[in-house]
Amino acid sequence: MPDNHYDVLIIGSGLAGFTLALHLADQKKICIVTKQAVDSGASSWAQGGIAAALSSEDSPSQHVEDTLIAGAGLCDLEMTRYIAENASQAIHWLINQGVNFTADQTSETGYHLTKEGGHSVRRIIHSGDATGQAIQQTLIEKIRSHSNICILEHHIAIDLITSDKLSDDQTPPQERRCVGAYVLDKKIGTVHTFSAQDTILATGGASKVYLYTTNPDTATGDGIAMGWRAGCRIANMEFIQFHPTCLYHPHAKSFLISEAVRGEGGILKLPDGDRFMLRHDARAELAPRDIVARAIDFEMKKRGLDCVYLDISHKPAVFLKQHFPTIFTRCLELGIDITQEPIPVVPAAHYTCGGIVTDKSGKTDLNHLYAIGETAHTGLHGANRLASNSLLECLVLAQSAARDISHHTSHSLPALPAWDESRVTDADEEIVIAHNWDELRRFMWNYVGIVRTTKRLQRAQRRIELLREEINEYYTNFRVTSDLLELRNLVDSADLIVKSAMLRYESRGLHFSKDFPNTAPLARNTILKKV
């Protein structure tokens, strides 16, 4: 192990963490901790692109307006303006790093811009249909070549270390600060203590709390759960975005069919070929994701369907292969030729709109702790994220967090206690973890999914309480493992989702309750705070 004292400790290896690291690397000693390979996070899975007002037909104010409409009254106006107004420079920073976005010589921008649901104009800059992968691979090369950045793969953070937990700390509660984290080396099972001047949670969302998701296995709500346990406020966790179109196939785990397929003319159909979206919204397939996902869910339940179909076979084959090479290839591998036949799709948990409350510098309630990306709640997404605003938020907020951290002067940190394993043993029945993991994801899908009721939420809450008791007993008595840590974080995240949902007595955006189907006249955030 290298020296475990750093200026900046970044937990997570997505676009948010990479962007922050590259902006600080010339002046700070940085460690990036990631629980799998450095390129395994959700950022690499992003297909569609990044929203930004780049053409003369567009403007930041128009981008703001579209975001506010999708957000169903809950977007923070100041934050939304800040991110939209900084979008163009963030895109050009990526271009300067060497990211190859899809070119279009007929466009005034020189790049092909596509349109997605909820957007009034074409403003999505992309790299084919694998934008996240193109960006991450470019930034990974920069990260690996920088002498001030250390990357620790296959390491998972256990918990944050806060100053008030140190025996000699006399600071008042409002001056509590984060001083580092305990981190498990997954390969050898050893827990290390990391101290840092500033710690950043950039671990992504919590969609693995659901049985069906478009997210990678890493999306277990780690940062949100750690921030909550450390005393940070959590906001709007009831707003889980279900992507309308995840490929439905027994061998296609978590494969997303990009929003851009509908943006380029894809039509949603029932098995008999009937186009149904116009019965649900005048914007049809280009309605915001919450509306499209609920429409698909309604049609599937009403007719007892396993899936619906997304048809773009009316477009030229050359166009489809050029614009959607990844989707074309993957579907063809599974026996689906998208140039000749429709794609079977179902909704799946996709994005966590809530998270740790931060300001526009990424600062949390805990001094020297930052949260950026999907882990954070900035107020940009409101009750429903507008397509392709997520990577944008990662870029802009990582840059503003880096500016804030760059002004910090180093302070001497106290000696941190080592991880105590003196009273634990090796687990004797790890099947308990697998069973609880499966049970949690199934009842969350059934009770806290696209359509909710108070009774379903109460059932979920009772089961979470029982699971928490078992997991806490396990955590107390046995040595920690990666599976146990992820399960612990998933249960905390599930609890936050259910508690938030039970506090919202209305239907708004991504939260739809049969018991409260109307939208309240006044939009309010759901804020959870530890007592």
Per-residue pLDDT tens digits for 317-331: 999 999 999 999 999
Asked about 423 being catalytic, the answer comes back as no
pTM of the model: 0.90
Given CA atoms 402, 405, 409, 412 in this order, what sign does their dihedral have? Answer: negative
Tokens of 151: 């990357």
Q: Where in the chain is the domain with CATH 3.90.700.10?
A: 246-347
The residue ranges of the chain whose pLDDT is under 70 are 1-3, 167-171, 428-429
Count of other CB atoms within 10 angstroms of residue 174: 7
E-strand ranges in 80-148 read 113-114, 124-125
Q: Which of 289, 441, 456, 508 is catalytic?
A: 289
Q: Which amino acid is present at 215? A: N
At the topology level, CATH places domain 246-347 in Flavocytochrome C3; Chain A, domain 1 (3.90.700)
Domain 431-528, CATH among 1.10.760.10, 3.30.750.24, 1.20.58.100, 1.10.1740.110: 1.20.58.100
Q: How many angstroms separate the CA atoms of 191 and 433, rounded?
A: 20
- Beta-bridged to residue 152, according to DSSP, are 33
Instruction: Check residue 402 and give its pLDDT.
Output: 97
Per-residue pLDDT tens digits for 160-199: 999 887 766 566 777 889 999 999 999 999 999 999 999 9
Instruction: Check residue 7 and give its pLDDT.
Output: 95
Helix, strand, coil percentages, rounded to 5, for the chain? 40, 20, 45
Q: Where in the chain is the domain with CATH 1.20.58.100?
A: 431-528
| DSSP one-letter string for 403-430 | HHHHTPPP-PPPPPPPP--TT-B--S-T
Q: What is the DSSP letter of 278?
A: G
